[in-house]
Structure 1
């Protein structure tokens, strides 16, 4: 429910703050008095775009603030989804700065226009005679039947199931695409894997083979060098072992004289042991170093195979080749895993599809059951509104497509008079007829849903006084369960409001301003009398106004 509206520096409004009745309120005023400005301000609250032309004083910011009572609308989840602070008394504020920048707030929390629009459509429903697109939309037509057919819980479950169905379908498509790619690559990956596996690569093998190849290619030089070491060591006269032994014999004579000489002797002894070991090792290595052409050929071939694989896979080490081999193995195993996963997801998707179809059929059946109820109610209301021959026809088909609200394709046809063909409302209904049709539908929905605050903007254009009275009675009846506003030029409707507001313009210096005020009973009598006979209203008009108010 809209509790209050505050407007500053907007169009012809310098400052305005007004509180509203919780039932049926009527708003009147001369053409151009500012009723459209009021709707424009509410449009900002609903998330409409704003520009600098909206500012009365271009040097100051414009502020429009609306306060709503929302405790009956079950909007806690909506607030949570949009990360907004939930308050039973919620305030939406829009600001337009002189720079042209626009800001939006919900309960003093900065937010974006998209979130404001989502929230506001649960709080305000502004309908004018010329806004008929809503009734032409299939989703709206279905929503009317859903309200009457009590489909709310089924649609909620359907939405959850559809989300799961789409999620599984997307995952299945991705797996199938991956599987198709993997199958195409499988033969080549298998060839690469087998090629690496057959080689039997080992970590550090390359370094060992390269050292061995170096040795095999230099057998003569190695043998020569090792033999020289042995010869130099064992030469009888000048061999370094014999020489060191003589030095040792010399040092042993003075080793006992001082620790210094003893340590020197120990060092020489250690050196002798090391030299003897070097000589022995060199002798053994020299005996082992033989030219082995077969081994040379094997090592060369083995290394060449490794080098070729490294070049092929654009790597430099055996470790990297082993990683590639492991990755290829995973890819090959993945093909089998994908097949199993695809089969599992296909079964899961089929289950979800069956559940969705069951829900869609229940939703469809409830909609079909709601059609005769809607038709009877709507035709009865339209008969009261001067359209006794108005008839509706529905075509409700089940499609193969999963829409966001079921599987139905709907078409609503209308005929206003006997002997006329049925057609879409947009084509066959006049503006006045469309107004009455929308009022009838809103009236029906009022019995089934917690509709937001409804504002009827001059939907009474082109109707007679008697029909206007009927329209007013319907709107007043609707207001027993929710807040209803009617912006009207007809006294018959203005008189039926629980509260009556007047919009007017006035001059202040060189400035024209617009204002809205709540009328007292006496003021209402005068306003309705003016609506009946003009500014120079008569006593008869006064009496007529009182009669209407009674």
Structure 2
């Protein structure tokens, strides 16, 4: 329930603080006093978009804050889902800055307007004259019937399943489109893949092939240089080995004269061993190398094949060709298996469609079950409200197609007079009749939907006398299970509130301000008397006001 409201620098409000209780609260005040401003401020707190016109003083920020007691409303899961701190006494704050930007907070945590609006919908139902027109909208009529039919949970499941079906159908359309493209490209992709597969590519093979080619293509030069190298090493007169051997023997003779000569002799010994090993390797290489025209041709052919593939695919590395080969393999496999995947997708769609049909049939059956009693209850409830001849015809027609509300069309028809023909509500019901119908529907919905607070904005417009008394009794009855506010111009309605607040204007320093206060007994009698007879408080008006309050108590 709404426990308190604090508004600063909003429209005609400079600073307003007001506390509220459970039960039935009535709000009165002269036309233009600012009752709509109060509603506007609350709407902003609940997520409505703001603009700079909201600021009383454009140089200061506007702050609107409401405290809600939500202990009994099972909202912990909402707070967990939105990563918000849950408090039994939750504070919602909205700030509108002079720059035009606005900020929203739930228990001091910044939130988006979407989150604020989602929570607001679970806290307060503000019923304005504009909302009365929703009664004529098909979606609202569905929500009403489905609440009574206890279809809310089934419809939530239906919505999720329908969304999944639409996703499956979208995927199928994409598969079919992909198949058409894949068929066009299949032969070409297969040809490209075959070229790459025949090359039998391996990481690093290009470098190996190029090295082999260079060696085979320069056999004579390599053999000649290897032989010359051996000659330099092993010539008997001036060969490196001969000279190093002489050096080694010379230093060996000096090794007895000190450690430094021993170390030098060892180093020369190491050089000798290394040169001897190099000579052996030169001999082996010279013996192994020989011309092989066939291998040279084969290597050259392989290299030209790779070079051609690199040029064709616009790459420089074997690894890039291998990546292209893998991609082509996937495309070919995808094209070859797409018919099977399409069949699997079609089967998934058939299964989902079957499940949705069962769900839609169950929703329809629940609707058909409650419509007769619903029609009777509506007509019965409207009779005391000055509409004894009101009749409804609620027609549910199967469409055969999945829609947001199942597979039904709903026609909510109305006749206000005996013998009158049925027609759509928006065409035949007056504004006063729509208000009374909406009040009855809200009262019925209150039995099925756990909404903490409802606020009616002049729902009694266009009625008077005993009818207004009956409407007030309905709101009073609703307040036994929820917090109910009504903004009213009718004393019969105002008197039935557990508490009555007055919105009023004051002037100070040439400026107009709106404020609100709770009326004590004497003030309440005077306010009701003024509503009955005008500014001049007569004895009869005061007596009538006392009578209205006494009747309520």
Q: TM-score range by the shorter chain?
A: 0.7 to 0.9
Mark the CA change 1:222 to 1:133 in structure 2 (over 3 Å): closer, same or farther.
same
Contact 1:457 1:487 in 2 (8 A): yes
Helix, strand or coil: the match of 1:448? Answer: coil
- Could you report, residue by residue, the CA deviation over 1:35-56 in whole angstroms, capped at 9, with x for unpaired residues? 1221222222222233333333
* Range that drifts further, 514-523 or 56-65: 56-65
TM-superposed CA distance for 1:103, in Å, is 2.0
Mark the CA change 1:41 to 1:240 in structure 2 (over 3 Å): closer, same or farther.
same
* Range that drifts further, 362-371 or 211-220: 211-220
Distance 2:5 2:190 in 1: 73
RMSD: 3.2
Mark the CA change 1:139 to 1:294 in structure 2 (over 3 Å): closer, same or farther.
same
TM-superposed CA distance for 1:186, in Å, is 2.7
Within 5 A, what are the aligned runs for 1:395-544? 395-544=395-544
Task: Tell me which residue corresponds to 1:89.
Answer: 89
Distance 1:504 1:38 in 2: 11
Distance 2:325 2:126 in 1: 68
Mark the CA change 1:404 to 1:249 in structure 2 (over 3 Å): closer, same or farther.
same
Distance 1:102 1:486 in 2: 29
Mark the CA change 1:263 to 1:376 in structure 2 (over 3 Å): closer, same or farther.
closer
Contact 1:227 1:282 in 2 (8 A): no
Q: Does 1:116 align with 2:87?
A: no
Helix, strand or coil: the match of 1:438? Answer: helix
**How many residue pairs are counted as aligned between the two chains?**
544
* Range that drifts further, 154-163 or 367-376: 154-163
Mark the CA change 1:530 to 1:268 in structure 2 (over 3 Å): closer, same or farther.
closer
Task: Tell me which residue corresponds to 1:161.
Answer: 161
Mark the CA change 1:247 to 1:444 in structure 2 (over 3 Å): closer, same or farther.
closer
Distance 2:50 2:281 in 1: 95
Contact 1:412 1:424 in 2 (8 A): yes
Distance 1:528 1:247 in 2: 130
2:287 corresponds, among 256, 273, 284, to 284
TM-superposed CA distance for 1:149, in Å, is 0.9
TM-superposed CA distance for 1:362, in Å, is 0.7
Distance 2:278 2:131 in 1: 109
- Could you report, residue by residue, the CA deviation over 1:458-514 in whole angstroms, capped at 9, with x for unpaired residues? 222222312111211222122222222221111221222222222222233433322
Task: Tell me which residue corresponds to 1:389.
Answer: 389
- Could you report, residue by residue, the CA deviation over 1:111-142 in whole angstroms, capped at 9, with x for unpaired residues? 22222222112222222334334223322111
Contact 1:10 1:56 in 2 (8 A): yes
Mark the CA change 1:506 to 1:190 in structure 2 (over 3 Å): closer, same or farther.
same
Mark the CA change 1:541 to 1:230 in structure 2 (over 3 Å): closer, same or farther.
closer
Contact 1:132 1:426 in 2 (8 A): no
TM-superposed CA distance for 1:251, in Å, is 7.0
Distance 1:346 1:465 in 2: 64
TM-superposed CA distance for 1:337, in Å, is 5.5
Within 5 A, what are the aligned runs for 1:246-395? 248=245, 252=249, 255-256=252-253, 258=255, 260=261, 266=269, 270=273, 273=276, 277=280, 280-281=283-284, 284=287, 289-290=290-291, 293-335=293-335, 339-395=339-395
Helix, strand or coil: the match of 2:443? Answer: helix
Task: Tell me which residue corresponds to 2:47.
Answer: 47
TM-superposed CA distance for 1:393, in Å, is 2.1
TM-superposed CA distance for 1:23, in Å, is 1.4
Contact 1:382 1:440 in 2 (8 A): yes
Distance 2:243 2:453 in 1: 119
Distance 1:2 1:514 in 2: 20
Helix, strand or coil: the match of 1:536? Answer: coil
Distance 1:108 1:396 in 2: 47
- Could you report, residue by residue, the CA deviation over 1:274-332 in whole angstroms, capped at 9, with x for unpaired residues? 575367447525xx534x55444333322211211111122223343334333433433
Mark the CA change 1:515 to 1:217 in structure 2 (over 3 Å): closer, same or farther.
closer
Distance 2:244 2:504 in 1: 129
Unpaired runs of 5+ residues, structure 2, are none
Helix, strand or coil: the match of 2:71? Answer: coil
Contact 2:179 2:338 in 1 (8 A): yes
TM-superposed CA distance for 1:239, in Å, is 6.0
* Range that drifts further, 470-479 or 177-186: 177-186
* Range that drifts further, 135-144 or 54-63: 54-63
Task: Tell me which residue corresponds to 2:30.
Answer: 30
- Could you report, residue by residue, the CA deviation over 1:379-430 in whole angstroms, capped at 9, with x for unpaired residues? 1222211122222222323334434443333222222223444332222221
Contact 2:8 2:15 in 1 (8 A): yes
Helix, strand or coil: the match of 1:382? Answer: helix
Contact 1:445 1:451 in 2 (8 A): no
Mark the CA change 1:410 to 1:511 in structure 2 (over 3 Å): closer, same or farther.
same
Q: TM-score, normalised by structure 1?
A: 0.88
Distance 2:184 2:94 in 1: 58
Mark the CA change 1:248 to 1:29 in structure 2 (over 3 Å): closer, same or farther.
closer
Helix, strand or coil: the match of 1:110? Answer: strand
Mark the CA change 1:299 to 1:420 in structure 2 (over 3 Å): closer, same or farther.
same
Contact 1:13 1:513 in 2 (8 A): yes
Distance 1:268 1:508 in 2: 111
Helix, strand or coil: the match of 1:132? Answer: helix
* Range that drifts further, 357-366 or 250-259: 250-259
Helix, strand or coil: the match of 2:86? Answer: coil
TM-superposed CA distance for 1:206, in Å, is 3.1
TM-superposed CA distance for 1:270, in Å, is 4.1
Contact 1:494 1:500 in 2 (8 A): yes
Task: Tell me which residue corresponds to 2:63.
Answer: 63
Helix, strand or coil: the match of 1:481? Answer: coil
Unpaired runs of 5+ residues, structure 1, are none
Contact 2:432 2:461 in 1 (8 A): yes
